[in-house]
Structure 1
Amino acid sequence: MKAALVESFKEDPQYKDFAAPKPTDTQVLINVKAASVNQLVKAKAAGTHYSSHVQPPIIPGVDGVGQLDNGQMVYFMATDPVYGTLAEQTLTDSRAMIPVPEYADPAVVAASVNPAMSSWMAIKERVGDIQGKTVLVLGATGHAGSLAVAVSKYLGAKQVIALGRNQTKLAALDSDVQIPLTMDAAFKTAIAKIADSVDVVLDYLWGDVSQNVMMPLLTARADHSQALTWVEIGSITGSDLVLPAAALRSTNLTLLGSGQGGIATKTFLKDLPELINLIAKGHFNVAVDVRPLANVQEDWQAKTDKRLVFEP
């Protein structure tokens, strides 16, 4: 079969022949219809993600939409260490797939589930009930961050505050407050104004940027015993953050992480059917840039504001 093949972590995937997968008793063969490329997929393909444990040759891709032999369309997660989703066929655990409504667009579902699930799972499984609370989305102009604004509203947030660098995209969000990440005096004033209202932070950035939001936010709060739950979801701007010990002792700050490994697969599968049905109906959709898998090598580094999706 044809697949996007990583033969070296130093090279982009190439469109090549690879042995067709053979399912075991616990695996299911998937005829792939669409698979998206995001930062996680690229990090795994480069061998830089914390979950990258298998050496090449491997097929990248963490999830997608495909068809079973009986014709059923499913959203599935890649569970085999070698066979990812960027191929004509792949494997998944029989428990790691969810039916997709027949009216759904496979490319849209493949592109939207991963960014939407980041906030969906963070709220449902790490934060809990956000009814009547104020949620701050840090990194709100990326695909996952912009969907986090919509997901937070859907799940009952009283107010959503969006922080992001792209001011055009920021202005287009359906958030109650938009604050450009300019890191200047005006930014510090804006943070001070909203400091007392924030209950939950969904952080897609981390690193120095998050540090320069977290500390002013904590110090500006009139009541330092007011609870603040900070959920680290992405690390686009840095993998490390310096946090003074006094910040933990003198404030009611709870730091959580939400991601692969921190939430059990069975928990994902419990929570995702509702999300997938909403996506199929047009909620929480990202714009897609669909390209043939045969072009994977030349398109791997394509510059696009849309979510890149490959179709075999």
Structure 2
Amino acid sequence: MYAAVVRSFGAPPRFERFPAPTASGEHEILVDVLAAGLHPRVRSAADGSHYTSDGALPLVPGIDAVGRTPQGELLYFVAPDTGPGTMAERAVVDRRRAVTLPPGTDPVPMAAAMNPGMSSWVALRRRVSFRPGDSVLVLGATGGAGRLAVRIARQLGAGHVVGAGRDPRRLDLLKGLGADDVVALDGDDKDVAERLGRVAAEVDVVIDYVWGRPTEQAMRALLTARADRSRALAWIQIGSMAGQDITLPAALLRAANLTVLGSGQGSVSTAGIVAELPSLAAEIAAGTLAVDPLPMPLARVEQAWNTPAEPGRRIVLIP
């Protein structure tokens, strides 16, 4: 078969022939891949920087896809932890990591939206006791997953949603996606802290795609501005666009009711993630949660790797 193949962590994948995978396990089947999203998680696996990378080469990237079974069934599936990824003409599906899609579902928008939507959907449904009416701050709301997180928080019943990011133009667009308020993270520390404290001090949950220095600023600003510091604040770490580490003062933890936790592979079981896929897929199929896809042929994977995509758009490779 043809596939995108990574032979060096310092270079993009190339379109070339690669041995076709074989379904061997009790729950495995071989499907024709129809669409596979080029997500940040895929890029980090392909350059060896993701925390799950084992350094083995060559590899076929791709962590999820929409495929068709020999019987014509349409599936969205998450790739097995071992074996080639989904950016290929065919892929192995473990039926325990797949959901059936309604006939006629467009595979391209589904492949574009499931992965970025899954990050906040699973976080709010599986990592915290999120209740309708709770308020949410999305840090990094101008990125693709962050934009979806704003909409997902609202869809799951958030009473108040705040989006925070650096791009003023993109921040303004968030108000049409469900954000009640937006906060610009540019400027000096004092200005940023004042804005965050004024607008987001009383939130119940923070969905954090940035980490690093912006998170340090935001934590201090929210916790010191909170009217009742004993009121619980759940801080869910999902992405690290601004840095891998933070400095968290001990006094800040003692002086407030802060819970810091992550959401991703390992912190949520595979079964837990898969259990959330049908409801998320239904929202995407209904058009409630959409990402603007940019379809490109798999044969142009090198070009796709170097093609910038605007926030809200997601490159989808079509074998």
What TM-score do the two structures reach when normalised by structure 1?
Answer: 0.97
Asked whether the equivalents of residues 5 and 61 of structure 2 are also in contact (C-alpha less than 8 Å), the reply is yes
State the identity %.
43
Residue number in structure 1 paired with 2:118: 117
The offset of 1:129, in angstroms, is: 2.6
Residues of 2 paired with 1:129 and 1:221: CA distance? Answer: 19
Residue number in structure 1 paired with 2:162: 161
Residue number in structure 1 paired with 2:262: 257
Alignment match of 2:212 (pick from 207, 214, 235)? 207
Alignment match of 1:268 (pick from 258, 265, 273)? 273
Residue number in structure 1 paired with 2:135: 134
Residue number in structure 2 paired with 1:298: 303
The offset of 1:284, in angstroms, is: 1.0
Q: Does 1:310 align with 2:317?
A: yes
Residues of 1 paired with 2:130 and 2:256: CA distance? Answer: 22
Residues of 2 paired with 1:308 and 1:57: CA distance? Answer: 23
Q: Does 1:235 align with 2:240?
A: yes
Residues of 1 paired with 2:111 and 2:20: CA distance? Answer: 22
Asked whether the equivalents of residues 153 and 160 of structure 1 are also in contact (C-alpha less than 8 Å), the reply is yes
Unaligned runs of 5+ in 2: none
The offset of 1:80, in angstroms, is: 4.8
Paired residue secondary structure (2:217) = helix
Alignment match of 1:225 (pick from 218, 230, 233)? 230
Alignment match of 1:191 (pick from 184, 193, 196)? 196
Residues of 1 paired with 2:66 and 2:157: CA distance? Answer: 29
Residue number in structure 1 paired with 2:152: 151
- RMSD in angstroms over aligned alpha carbons? 1.2
Residues of 1 paired with 2:106 and 2:148: CA distance? Answer: 18
Residue number in structure 2 paired with 1:13: 13
- Find runs of 4+ consecutive structure 1 residues off by over 4 angstroms: none
Alignment match of 1:178 (pick from 179, 182, 185)? 182
The offset of 1:271, in angstroms, is: 1.3
Residues of 2 paired with 1:95 and 1:204: CA distance? Answer: 28
Paired residue secondary structure (2:96) = coil
Asked whether the equivalents of residues 101 and 277 of structure 1 are also in contact (C-alpha less than 8 Å), the reply is no
Paired residue secondary structure (2:34) = strand
**1:225-278, Cα deviation, whole Å (9 max, x unpaired):** 111110001111111011011111111000010011111111111111011011
Asked whether the equivalents of residues 7 and 58 of structure 1 are also in contact (C-alpha less than 8 Å), the reply is yes
The offset of 1:224, in angstroms, is: 1.6
What TM-score do the two structures reach when normalised by structure 2?
Answer: 0.95
Asked whether the equivalents of residues 104 and 280 of structure 1 are also in contact (C-alpha less than 8 Å), the reply is yes
Residues of 2 paired with 1:37 and 1:182: CA distance? Answer: 28
**1:179-222, Cα deviation, whole Å (9 max, x unpaired):** 11114344322222134421110000001111111111111212
Unaligned runs of 5+ in 1: none
Paired residue secondary structure (1:145) = helix
The offset of 1:116, in angstroms, is: 0.6
Paired residue secondary structure (2:302) = helix
The offset of 1:101, in angstroms, is: 1.5
Asked whether the equivalents of residues 21 and 92 of structure 2 are also in contact (C-alpha less than 8 Å), the reply is yes
Residues of 2 paired with 1:283 and 1:69: CA distance? Answer: 30
Count of residues in Structure 1 that have an aligned counterpart in Structure 2: 312
Residues of 2 paired with 1:80 and 1:129: CA distance? Answer: 29
The offset of 1:11, in angstroms, is: 1.5
